[in-house]
Amino acid sequence: MASVKTTGAERRLKIAVFISVAFLMSTAFVSVAFPPPSAAQEDDLGLGATLGLVRQSASVESDGFIEITLDWTGPITDNLFLSVLFHQRINDAEDLDAAATSILNRRDPVPLTAFGTDADGNLVATIPVRSVSPAADDRVYLPGPGVYPFTVEIRSADGPVASLTSTIVRLPQDRSTMATVDMAVVLALSPADGLDLSDGLWFLTTYPDVPFTIQMGEALVSQLEQDEPLAQQFATAAGGRVILSDAGLDLDPSALEEINQGQFFTAAVATTNQRLTRLGLQPSSDVVMLSPDLTAGGAALLAESGVIAVLSTRTTEIETGIITTPRGSVGLVQADHEMTAALSATGSKPFATSDVYALYSRLSLLAESDQTPVILGGEGTEPLDSQSLDTFLAALVENGPIRPVSLSEAVEGQRRNPLLAAERPEQDLVTTGDAIAELQQLAETSRSFRGVDNPELERLLANSLSRSRNPDDRTRAIDRAKAELLADLASISLPTEASITLTAVEGPLPLTIRNTADGPRRVLLEFRGDRVAIAQNNEVVVVPPGETTIELDAEARALGVSTLDVTARTPDGTRVLSTSRYQIRSTAVPGLGWAISGTALAFLLLWWYQNSRNAKPRGPHLVGLRRSSLPAPADTDPGVAADALLASESI
């Protein structure tokens, strides 16, 4: 048989074709498209079995071990094998949602019977990792720190039966060089949806080192106030971690500041914080939750009250940053809705373990790029699922890429880009501004009258200004609040008039006061009278419920009948509660009267005495006679005549 010789060109062509075919075959082998992450995938061979991810190592040391726990509902036999494929490292969070294609490393299939199981019958696979290549062992080579997708397959002799995909974070050998991202978890507790109070107790006790910010509304605060043992248990579990509450705070600070009534908001915040403090909890002092937009006035009001940031509770994403005013600056922050959704579970989106580990990987990638702190959970986001959150928190490792921090710390690290304040508040309170001002004055008067904080009053005031009310409802609520305040102020009454006789200069004067309120009230007493002085004038007395008689110290200044006007006011002096007039009859001479009378008598006696001593005998007073006209009698003795002459000269 004759041989056929080939030319060099033909040989080169055959080699090229061979290489092309080999390349296509290898590509077909290593470029198998795998489904995106899922909780479980049904098999393709009709076994009726599913493969689900129960838990896994979220991160692995450079030369450590990856542990994967699988929920396999099919048979465990020598005819079924488990294989793990590791894909190329990804550097962008967007690639987490893409199907993994290129294969970096494949673990040879191992019979299912070679794997152990946990107490629930789940398969447990342990995969060693190496950071150096080449190596003589069969450890999986992950060439450097980063996020690696991997696919787990259950295979038979005929091909894949079921598979799932997840991700693993390979840590650097030197942890000190690892980039980290701060993450704050807002543990929103609500009896309606998401986590309830028992869930909160479990998380606070199970993860005592995680600096949760605990969010609770009016319903849970009231529940704790009514159950002291439960409140003590919760306070112990909270361990000083900050409470963020909007109980009684459905108010718009911007709208209130527009009508110069911002004190309503700060008073409501103070009341809520006092309620939390009485429960043994630590209220947040520098972060508040708000939904409405902030005007410059609203931001200034918050800044002056010590607030550094507002956590927006809007269900849609907003622009975050900082609002600066001449009176201070306030940051506007928001929880990450997309990342929080990875830890939620609803009817249409059941719990998926792979979503949790994808979130862990996403945060790890964020640490390499942005490093802006992330806030997870809170009002306005999808409710956290307890199983998802537990899986995520259990995956956190010490000195890992994700650093749990408090909400205040996360706020401090947010972007500081400037924001423009809203031009007008969302709520219009201008039309009821005068009525609100009058209500505020009444509220201040009531506080001085009661002498203690009145949570019911604060809630009543806040309710009348609630953002959820329309103008007509608000007017009715304000009128209702005023009526209740005025009714309380009308609880104090004095007798219309009374008559009293004072038999001594100083003595007791009884004053009867009636209090129809359900608690003690503080009253300022004023007394006006020209002839009677009261020692307790302008003093504040505490009047218990019922009828009370107070012994006043009276001093009479004059004899006779006089009037004493009595006025009961609120302690701030702004409102007259009741008046009375006493007819006072004094039968005792006051000490001053005795002193004046005695002094006058002594003066008269002294005058009489002095005049009686200075008086001299007087001779006859002869009118119209002169010495020259007095004849001297002839028979008069010369001595006698001389005496007569001297007497006449002295006249």
Q: Are strands 213-216 and 181-189 parallel, antiparallel or unpaired?
A: parallel
pLDDT at 615: 58
CB neighbours of 590 closer than 8 A, spacing ≥ 6? 505, 555, 556, 557, 558, 559
pLDDT at 491: 95
Average pLDDT of span 213-223? 93
**SS3 of 517-556:** CCCCEEEEEEEECCCEEECCCCEEEEECCEEEEEEEEEEE
Report angle CA 421, 261, 429 to the nearest 5 degrees.
70
pLDDT at 263: 86
Give the dihedral sign, CA 636/637/642/644. negative
Higher pLDDT, 91 or 464: 91
> Is the confidence at residue 398, as pLDDT, over 50?
yes
Q: Is 534 left (phi over 0), alpha (psi -120 to 50) or beta?
A: beta
What pLDDT digit, counting tens, does each position of 438-477 carry?
A: 888 888 899 899 987 776 666 677 777 888 888 888 888 8
Least confident of 32-41, 340-349, 557-566, 626-635: 32-41
pLDDT at 591: 53
pLDDT at 274: 93
Distance CA 314, CA 236 (A): 31
Residues in the chain: 651
Higher pLDDT, 392 or 596: 392
**Where is mean pLDDT largest: 38-42, 194-198, 294-298?**
294-298
What pLDDT digit, counting tens, does each position of 366-383 carry?
A: 988 888 899 999 999 999
Distance CA 484, CA 193 (A): 35
pLDDT at 5: 39
| Fold assignment, 181-412 | 7-stranded beta/alpha barrel (3.20.110)
> Is the confidence at residue 172, as pLDDT, over 60?
yes
Distance CA 2, CA 145 (A): 62
Strand, helix or coil for residue 613: helix
Distance CA 643, CA 595 (A): 54
pLDDT confidence of 432, banded at 50, 70, 90?
A: confident
pLDDT at 99: 67
pLDDT at 108: 85
DSSP state of 592: H
Average pLDDT of span 105-130? 92
> Is the confidence at residue 637, as pLDDT, over 60?
no
Domain boundaries, the chain: 30-173, 181-412, 430-489, 492-586, 617-651
> Is the confidence at residue 594, as pLDDT, over 60?
no
pLDDT at 177: 83
pLDDT at 9: 42
Contact predicate 429/467, CB 8 Å: no
What pLDDT digit, counting tens, does each position of 524-577 carry?
A: 999 998 888 888 899 999 999 999 999 988 888 777 788 888 999 999 999 999
Q: CA torsion angle for 318, 324, 328, 334 (degrees, to 10)? A: 20
Mean pLDDT of the chain: 82
Burial of 503 (0-12, 13-18, 19+ CB in 10 A): exposed
CB atoms within 10 A of CB 315: 11
Radius of gyration of the chain (CA): 49
DSSP state of 113: G
Q: What is the CATH number of domain 492-586?
A: 2.60.40.2310
Q: Which CATH number among 1.20.1280.50, 3.40.50.1390, 2.60.40.10, 3.40.50.300 corresponds to the domain 30-173?
A: 2.60.40.10
% of the chain exceeding 90 in pLDDT: 47
Q: Are strands 103-106 and 146-156 parallel, antiparallel or unpaired?
A: unpaired
What pLDDT digit, counting tens, does each position of 558-568 carry?
A: 777 888 889 99
Fold matches, 30-173 and 492-586: yes
